[in-house]
Structure 1
């Protein structure tokens, strides 16, 4: 097989099977996340070296799992001096087949099962989500840090500490029985939604992340049909995804919600998202995902931007702030107030968030300040804020959008 075609084949396996191999190795190494990831990475590196010359093995996944397992055994042998551990690893080595991924719960999808396995309640919610995104979803530390609005170094330290806690506290990583799934649901919901957002914020190949998140959300709703927050998250994804066709123009430039061609929105997805949201709200246990879905529904059902029910959105953000307070929620509420009332009413709220320093590295804080200052007639200050936003924007599309605004000013 040619080196280029072998590389493409391996890249496809990496996208499909990385999470399964890492999960198997986490079990095999007794919960050593770093060793599990290192050995899985070594197996793929070995495949890149040998498959172009020797050909792709008949069972690529089994080959990679075995290679990772053998690498782990080699490293364990070198690292351990404890006779008991040495005998334990020798016993592992006696096995002819790599450990299979076995399920003890009735979760009808292996990837969803792995997420429930990794979202262990002994870890705090942020640690559960970050670890699962890093090890099972394949997101980089930088991508996860951006989702959490923290520096990459900070997120790297959090992931490291979470792995250390698993190792030192000997936290078992096994598929939870059905009656324990609800306590792990919040972590799984956040993993799926951040995975969706990672794909929603980009065009091209990354869109597959959003499609996979929606697929898994549907499986989750079928598995736990009486959990309103699972329904709310699926509704939120569907309502956002309905706007995807209008988010970029023919030249690949980002189009803001206000300027999108609403005739291009997917009305079937909007109808489905609205129906799912109604199912959730009928249970009368409104949580953060349901409230966010209700906000998305206000946007999705308005035929024109100027007919958006901004007072209702202000009220919903107020409720969201009580249920799940955060500076991002406060910022979005201020934007809604600027539309429902005036920019002058919203600007002090945004200035207070800026002065608190809680969102200093968040480019949308500076972009929002720029918009409000411009609408208040303070053009010079608005341009300074736009330059700050431009310096912090995470993608080329967002930087080009801000550059066009700056040029227009």
Structure 2
């Protein structure tokens, strides 16, 4: 089958003692690449629809509409921009697929295993915590006889989704590559897990029986590995190298000093930019309405956007100026937060704490929830804090607090 042939080899990139990447060669899809026609047609349809959408407001703007007409024409024109970008993205995605510009990448470090699918300029990634891995196996991604030579590496996990994922518990790596070329890749994965410091977290054992309950996994393949049933002691949480958070220990007491992220960094910067943009256009239109003596009823409509922008601005300032102190003993967790809008503190007895995890907050950016440190409290409201801080910091803080409080690691 011509689409299975490739002369390139997977590339192994060692990123340190406990991190590595495997970059697969470009897929040779042959006739299968014409599947890309579907997103091309879909993208052209979206572009055509929003081109028609834009024709009306652009015509109004070119003819010099009055102030209310100018306001509504501008709003309608702005609504079309995301649609045009989506259509262009679908079009380019299909063209990259037709041009055989797709490949897979596996990234493993001390915290996560991540699968990245590249399609030319585009990429999509899925990740799981490194502790959640339970096995790797060679599978058939398409259960049809005509595609029997195609393979994929299934990475099984026992944990749910992470912040930027929308799939099931397992990861699928290198789908659509020749099966024979993937067997050495699985062997390399096992060897890398043994040679790196990740061996302390992953203890793989060879399985000669395959997976009897999964028809897509080859029974008897020498490339099926499962995690050892004997659990290892939980490792000491690893402090991120670039963090400015201070950890101090005094006997049984553990304390974190978490500085404010600043107004012009990370989440706060994005919120500030968004709020200013959200207020600038309606504010300018409100000025035109007042200057031209137009009916003031339209001010109420535009004022809604300004109020929303002010709310986002306030939240951004609070997030950027919040300093947090967390302290725990075997019997108590206490925290205090200081920001530009005041101070907040709380003490929670250990027996009331039922879980301490990193999970999605109520804030989303680009349809993805920002993560936060979550403290589940029995019989009272739970606590969420440190929204939008780097995931590595949140994982480190959560793991350290769980150990200090004697909570189960998977709580």
Normalised-by-shorter TM-score class = under 0.3
What's the TM-score once normalised by structure 1's chain length? 0.26
Higher CA-based Rg? 2
**More helix per residue: 1 or 2?**
1
